[in-house]
Amino acid sequence: MNERLNTIGRSAARLATRAATFGRRRMTAFGELWRRSLQFRVTVSTLALSSAVVFVLGMVLQSQITERLMETKRKAAQAQLQVVVQTAESQLVGDTGQEEGLRNRLNNALKKITSSSVATQDTSSSAAGAFEPVLAAGDPDRSPSDTIYAGPYEKVPSGLRNFVENNQQAWQIHTVGTGADRTTYLEVGAPVTTTSRPLQLYLLFPLTAEQNTVATVQNTLLVGGLVLLLLLAGITNMVTRQVVRPVRRAAAVAERFADGELDRRLDVVGEDDLAKLAVSYNEMAASIERQMRELEEFGQLQRRFTSDVSHELRTPLTTVRMAADVLHASREQFPAGLARSTELLVDELDRFETLLRDLLEISRLDAGVEELSPEHVDVRPIAERAVEQVSVIAGNVGSSIELELPEDAVMAEIDARRVERILRNLLANAVDHSEGKPVCLRVGANESAVALTVRDYGVGLRPGEAELVFNRFWRADPSRNRRTGGTGLGLAISHEDARLHGGLLEAWGEPDRGACFRLTLPRQVGEEIGESPLGLPPDEPGEPGEPDGSDEPDGVPAGPGSAIEGEVEAPVEQAPPGLPAPDREHEEVR
C-alpha cells in the first residue's frame, strides 16, 4: 500500500513538474511576444481594459434590472395584499372566536379569498402574479405550536411572523426547500381585523419568473459582452495594424539603409502623419547619403593627395640623397661642425625616406589596393630574421632579445614580407621602451592559428592606451626620448597587415610591468582563427631580472612615466666612418 502511494505521489510530482514547465514556457513565449510586438501589446491592453469596462457595465445593468423587477413585484404584491385583506375581513365577519372549527373556517375563508381575489383583482395588483395565501391565528404571547392556520404556514419565516403578529405590515424574500426543489418567494403579511381575535394573512409570491428573467438578462449580458470583446479585439488589431505596418516597413528600410543601401527610401502614401514621417525620413536619408558621398570623395581626394605628394617627393629626395651621400663620404675633410651637420643630414634623410615609404603604404591600404602574396612557409625563419635585424638597436641600448621557438616547423599560409615587417616594428618598439630590460619573442601554434608575442618589461601602458597604440601618429608621452626615431605609422601599418591576413594584432600593458603585443594569424587564408595559441595578458611565472648583472632582484624595476608610441620602424643602418651609406630599398607592394 505504501509503495502504491509512493508511486502515485511520484507520478503526481512529475505531472506537476511538467505542468509548471509548460506554464513557464508559455509565460516566456508570452513575454517575448509582448516585448517584440507593438500590435500584440495594444490589442491585449485594449482587450483587458474593455473587459473591465464590460464587466462593470454588466454588473451595473444586472443590478438595476434586478432592483427594478423586485421593486415592481413588491409594489404589486403589497397592492394585492390590501385587496386580499379586505376580502378576508369581509369573509370572517361575525367570527365568535371559538377555537372549535376555527381551522375549517380558515380553510373556507382561504377558498373564498382565492376565488374572490381572482375575480376582483385590479390592474395595479395583477402584476404580482399567482400567490399562495396563508391565514393564521397567531399570538406573540403563545407558542408557535399552538397557532391555528390554514395554508403552507411552515413556509413563512419567523421574522416575518413576529412583525405581522405585532400588527405591522411587512415583507421578506425567503427561500424554501433544498437542492432542485428550492423555491424563492416574496412573502408579504398583514394583520386581519375581526370582531373576536387577531388573525394574520400572508401571501407567498413565487419569484420563479423573475429569476428566469434575471438569468436571461445575465446570459444576454455575458454573450453580448464576449461578442463585444471579440469585436473590439478584431477592430483594435485591424486599426493597430494600419499604424504598425508602415512602422515595420520604415524599420526594414532603415536596416537596409544602415547596411549600406543608401538609396533606399520610404513610399509616401497620402497626407497623414505617417506620410509626413515618411517624407521626413526620406529627406534625412537623402541628406545622409549626400554627406556620405561628400566624405567618400573627400577621403579619396585626401588619399590621392597623400599618394601624389609622396610620389612627387621621391624625385627631389633622390637628388638630395645623392648629394648627401657625396658629402657624407667626404666628411673627414670638413671641419668638425660641418662633418657633424653632414651626419645629421644623412640621418634625417633616412627618416624622411621612411616617412615617405610609410605614407605610400598607408595610402594603398586606405585605397584597398593592397593584396596579399601568401605562400606556405615556416614562420620560425621569419622570426629569426626579424630578431637579427633589430639586434643592433637592442645592443646599442643594452637590451637583449630572447627568442622562443617550437622545435617543429610552424607552417602557415602568409605573406612573409608583411609578417616580417610586423615583427620588426614590434621588436623595435619593444626595445625602445624596454628601459634596458630583455625583450622576448615567442612563437606558438595550434590546429587553426599561429601566434607571435613580443614582450618587454619596460614602462608599460597606462589604462586605456592599449586601444590607442594602433592609431596613426598617436604618442602617449611626446616628451620621452626615442632611440629609433619613427613616423607614427608603424603600428597602424602593422595592424592593417594583420587585418589583410584575416588575423588580429592586440596589445596589453600595465604601468611599470611592461607591455605585450600578440599577432594571431590563421594557418590558411580565409579560415577562422579560433582560440589563440598564446595568451594575452601573457601567462608567465616571472619576469627576467636585470641583464647587466646588478644586485637588484628579479622583476620589473620601477620606471618613470609610461609610454608606448603608436609607431615603430625598422632600424636605420649607419655607415661606418669613411664609407658611403649603403643603398636602401623601399618596401612597396606593386
pLDDT tens digit sequence for 236-256: 888 888 878 888 888 888 888
CB proximity list for 499: less than 8 A, separation 6 or greater: 505
What's the pLDDT score for residue 380?
A: 92
- Pair 432, 483: CB distance under 8 Å: yes
What phi, psi does 332 have (nearest 5°)?
A: -70, -20
Cα(306)–Cα(304) distance, integer angstroms: 5
What's the pLDDT score for residue 442?
A: 93
> What single-letter amino acid sits at 150?
A
Cα(77)–Cα(127) distance, integer angstroms: 8
What phi, psi does 241 have (nearest 5°)?
A: -65, -35
Strand order, beta sheet including 132-137: 148-150, 132-137, 199-206, 183-192, 170-176
Q: How many CA atoms lie within 13 A of 162 on its CB side?
A: 3
What's the pLDDT score for residue 21?
A: 85
Q: Kindly list the structural domains of the chain, giving each domain's residue range(s) and its CATH number in brackets, ordered by start.
A: 37-254 (no CATH), 265-370 (1.10.287.130), 372-574 (3.30.565.10)
What's the pLDDT score for residue 9?
A: 75
pLDDT one digit per residue (tens) for the chain, 590 residues: 667 777 777 788 888 888 888 888 888 887 887 877 777 888 888 888 888 998 899 899 889 988 888 888 888 888 888 888 887 777 776 554 555 566 677 777 777 776 665 544 444 445 677 888 888 887 766 666 667 777 888 888 888 888 888 888 899 988 888 777 788 888 999 888 765 677 888 888 888 888 888 889 889 989 988 998 889 888 888 888 887 888 888 888 888 888 888 888 888 877 777 788 888 888 888 888 888 888 888 777 776 776 677 667 777 878 888 888 888 888 888 888 888 888 888 888 877 777 777 777 777 666 666 677 889 999 999 999 999 988 888 888 888 899 999 988 999 999 888 899 899 889 988 888 888 889 999 999 998 899 999 999 988 888 888 888 888 777 665 545 555 555 677 788 888 888 888 899 999 988 888 899 999 999 888 888 888 889 888 766 444 444 443 333 333 333 333 333 333 333 334 333 333 333 333 333 32
Helical ranges in 368-459 per DSSP H: 379-396, 416-432
For residue 4, the tally of other CB atoms under 10 A from its CB is 8
For residue 414, the tally of other CB atoms under 10 A from its CB is 25
Cα(418)–Cα(566) distance, integer angstroms: 18
- Pair 484, 568: CB distance under 8 Å: yes
Q: How many CA atoms lie within 13 A of 143 on its CB side?
A: 2
Sign of the CA dihedral running 163, 164, 169, 172:
positive
| Burial call 428-449: b when 16+ CB within 10 Å, e when fewer | bbbbbbbbbbbbbbbbbbeebb
Residue with cell 365568535: 96
For residue 322, the tally of other CB atoms under 10 A from its CB is 10
- Pair 189, 160: CB distance under 8 Å: yes
| Burial call 221-236: b when 16+ CB within 10 Å, e when fewer | beeebeebbeebbeeb
Could you say which DSSP state residue 520 is in? Answer: E
Q: Say if residue 301 is exposed, middle or buried (CB neighbours under 10 Å; 0-12, 13-18, 19+).
A: exposed
- For β-strands 148-150 and 132-137, DSSP reports them as antiparallel
Q: DSSP of 34-81, one letter per residue?
A: HHH-HHHHHHHHHHHHHHHHHHHHHHHHHHHHHHHHHHHHHHHHHHHH
Q: How many CA atoms lie within 13 A of 183 on its CB side?
A: 13
